Amino acid sequence: MDTSLLLTLAQEAAGAEATEVAVNSVWDFVVKGGLMMIPIAICSLVIVTVTVERAVVLRKKQVIPDNFASGLFPLLERGTSGKQDAVNYCKQSDSPIARTVLGGVERIGRPMESVEKHMAAAGEHEIFMLRRRLRALSVVAAIAPLLGLVGTIFGMIKAFQTVAVSADSLGKTELLAGGIYEAMITTAAGLVVAIPALVVYHWFSSRIENLTRQMDSVCMDAVEAIASATGHADEELEDEHSGVVADSFPVRGGAIG
């Protein structure tokens, strides 16, 4: 037989084998990864869902609406006479900062300790709500590589088992290489899912911290406005001179916990 014909047949056979293991689409990638690709795919859906939902919730205008403070402080400066209007204003805004300030506004006329305590408690709850579902991202970032590693181990066990039971496997390293190649797909998939999850988690955490600082500033100004309007500003000044320093950031207690 002609040497060129033998070479052509060998190349066609090699091309056929390469086609069998080639990844030509995302579906091929998933199928060749085995059953462990299912939980990894679920993890990717969790990332997309949480990212979209938190991206909407954590918009600045959703947390601290524009002109909220400028509309609130004139009402607070009226003291007890503007209490109901301030309460209605916060309820109408219905945002995290509004619900935080509302906790203190509803106690106007009571001692400032009560005002600050209830505002801080409301702030801690709102920050907790802002951090909802972020733990899911950290969990996905931790378990996705482990799921990929488990899939790879199972795939390599299967590959070595195939070579071990094959009677004509001697000298055919492609049998082992093909099995390992497919087994490594799950590790790659796990890392591809975990890395974005980790990045998004830290980005949202930084975003929440920034929003918390802005909420703290508004709350501090609101407390000072209430104290000044109700005649408690002098009491706070006396406390400072006597060595009792009030918490400057009433929300900070539950900000990043």
User: Residues 27-86: pLDDT tens digits?
Assistant: 676 777 778 889 999 999 999 999 999 999 999 999 999 889 889 999 988 888 888 999
Q: And the tokens for 33?
A: 């990864």
| Per-residue pLDDT reduced to its tens digit, 110-139 | 888 888 999 999 999 999 999 988 999 999
Neighbouring residues of 257: CB distance < 8 A, sequence distance ≥ 6 = 127, 128
Residue 25 pLDDT exceeds 70: no
- As to burial, measured by CB atoms within 10 angstroms (0-12 exposed, 13-18 middle, 19+ buried), residue 20 is exposed
pLDDT score of 185: 86
User: In the block, which residue shows the tokens 């066609």?
Assistant: 12
Which of residues 130 and 22 earns the better pLDDT score?
130
- As to burial, measured by CB atoms within 10 angstroms (0-12 exposed, 13-18 middle, 19+ buried), residue 223 is buried
- Which of 46-60, 141-155, 156-170 is the least confident region? 156-170
Average pLDDT over residues 194-219: 94
In whole angstroms, give the CA distance from residue 184 to residue 91.
55
- Which of 3-12, 134-143, 233-242 is the least confident region? 3-12
**What pLDDT band is residue 15 in, cutting at 50, 70 and 90?**
very low
Average pLDDT over residues 20-27: 59
Average pLDDT over residues 208-232: 89
pLDDT score of 204: 95
Average pLDDT over residues 85-101: 92
pLDDT score of 256: 34
pLDDT score of 248: 47
**What pLDDT band is residue 22 in, cutting at 50, 70 and 90?**
low
pLDDT score of 210: 94
- As to burial, measured by CB atoms within 10 angstroms (0-12 exposed, 13-18 middle, 19+ buried), residue 129 is exposed
